[in-house]
Amino acid sequence: MSKNQSAIEALANQEYKYGFVTEIESDTAPRGLNEDIVRLISTKKNEPEFMLEWRLKAYRHWVKMERSEGEPKWANIKYPPIDYQDIIYYSAPKQNVETLKSLDEVDPKLLETFEKLGIPLSERKRLAGVAVDAVFDSVSVATTYKAKLAELGIIFCSFSEAVQNHPELVQKYLGSVVPYTDNFFATLNSAVFSDGSFVYIPKGVRCPMELSTYFRINQQDTGQFERTLIIADEGSYVSYLEGCTAPMRDTNQLHAAVVELIALDNAQIKYSTIQNWYPGDKDGKGGIYNFVTKRGKCVGKNSKISWTQVETGSAITWKYPSCILQGDNSTGEFYSVALTNNYQQADTGTKMIHMGKNTTSTIISKGISAGHGQNTYRGLVKMLKGATGARNYSQCDSLLLGDKCGAHTFPYLEVNNSTSTVEHEASTSKIGEDQIFYCKQRGISAEDAVNMIVNGFCKTVLRELPMEFAVEAQKLLGVSLEGSVG
């Protein structure tokens, strides 16, 4: 018994490998939030008038929200009040990366940081088959393969750059899926977001490589507010990956990102996340508060948006990657693995809003709780009147490791027409002593047994990840590669 327990704990208590701090001079805004800070960010980014206007509208709306109901209270998470005046809203390495001509001019400390994280950016070493936008605190440091992608008409750059070079696309689509009034954290993000990635795939183009953004929080007491906007024009396809880490600190840091996806007729977007923000220590001290709004809109007919997430980090995860299925025959998918250990809390799930005819959605959620972790699945499937013939299938499974953790499931269904079908399956299981003994009797160590069982539990989600990411995700879950045989 005690042996199995310790193997479970060993898996749960794996040390956070990305907790280092990069010593770098930063250009940091004063603490706190007011209109001047919003203006300062906009000025730093040399933004056109429409952006400043949008930010200010968001800021004023946020002030109203903060004075009335404040943060959303419905989630199954507990945390002390966040002092929004004690956060630094803008921090960037002193070197102005936006004026650099080539990667050689980038501060070597920045390149080194990403290399340490396994994301080499230099021409020689960069990852084959994956174009990377590297975001450090509030700014994008570098984007690889930009020129090669441009040959196909693909725009892949930092959000700041898109604002400068493609203002018409930004103005058209920014806030079209997540309006600045959407929710407390999205509104805050709209006011102060500093950078992020921008992707545009032109008509009929299949993006030949994985596009990826790697987010790194470095500076202490800063919030990270990035914004990603991906537009897949008619008949195009893109697979996009997102990874994130932060140093180990004993104070909590706020991360409030917004991601908007737009898929036009016959377009497909596959969006994969490995979220590994610092989760806090074993006593629950420190860690990232991850309040993120991710939403995709299948605007066009036959379009498809697929979210895959592996959430292993953060002290708190509050995140519901969703799909608005507006176009007829459009498809939304949500595949999720969320792991909470120690004192981590996750309240995550999705919303599938069916508007168009014959729209389909699939939800596969796997929650793993260890230590004192609390894991909540929260999902909404909504069939509007016009969504005739629409279908949803949801499956929510929870796995408990140990007896101090918790799993909770809150599925909401709203069906407003008689021709749509909704299926929901849920299960909760514990890693059994008998499963571990069976493995051990075959010569497999308890630790490997736990890895294998967890891996098997997550298999249907992990196989949705692109290969490069699947490997990282499995390492993260502390599991060895399942399915390499047979």
Q: Is 480 in the site for another protein (CB under 8 A)?
A: yes
Check binding of 428 to another protein (CB under 8 A). no
- In DSSP terms, which residues pair with 195 in a beta bridge? 226
Query: Contacting another protein (CB under 8 A), which of 206, 437, 471, 475?
Result: 437
Q: Which stretch binds another protein (CB under 8 A): 20-28, 120-128, 153-161, 444-452?
A: 444-452
Task: Based on the shown chain and the rule CB under 8 A, indicate whether residue 483 belongs to the binding site for another protein.
Answer: yes
Select 72 or 432, whichever has its Cβ closest to another protein: 432
Q: Which stretch binds another protein (CB under 8 A): 8-16, 29-37, 352-360, 430-438?
A: 430-438
Residues 452-471 vs another protein: string with x where CB under 8 A? xx-xxxxxx-----------
Retrieve residue 286's tokens.
Answer: 């420190």
| Cβ distance to another protein smaller for residue 129 or 483 | 483
CB of 456 to another protein, least distance (A): 3
Cβ proximity to another protein: between 309 and 455 the closer is 455
Choose between 201 and 400: whose C-beta lies nearer to another protein.
400
Exposed/middle/buried for 99, CB within 10 Å: 0-12, 13-18, 19+?
Answer: exposed
Binds another protein (CB under 8 A): choice among 205, 346, 446, 473: 446
- Rounded Cα gap, residues 4 and 199, in angstroms: 46
Q: Which is nearer to another protein, 38 or 370 (CB)?
A: 370
Minimum CB–partner distance for residue 338 and another protein (Å) = 17
Among 238-246, 292-300, 322-330, 447-455, which window interacts with another protein (CB under 8 A)?
447-455
Interface map 374-413 toward another protein (x if CB under 8 A): ----------------------------------------
Q: Applying CB under 8 A, does 438 fall inside the site for another protein?
A: yes
Binding of another protein by 192 (CB under 8 A)? no
* Least distance in angstroms from the C-beta of 465 to another protein: 15
Binder among 37, 338, 439, 450 for another protein (CB under 8 A): 439
Q: Using CB under 8 A, which residues numbered 3 to 42 contact another protein?
A: 3-4
Interface residue list for another protein (CB under 8 A) = 1, 3-4, 432-435, 437-446, 448, 452-453, 455-460, 480, 482-486
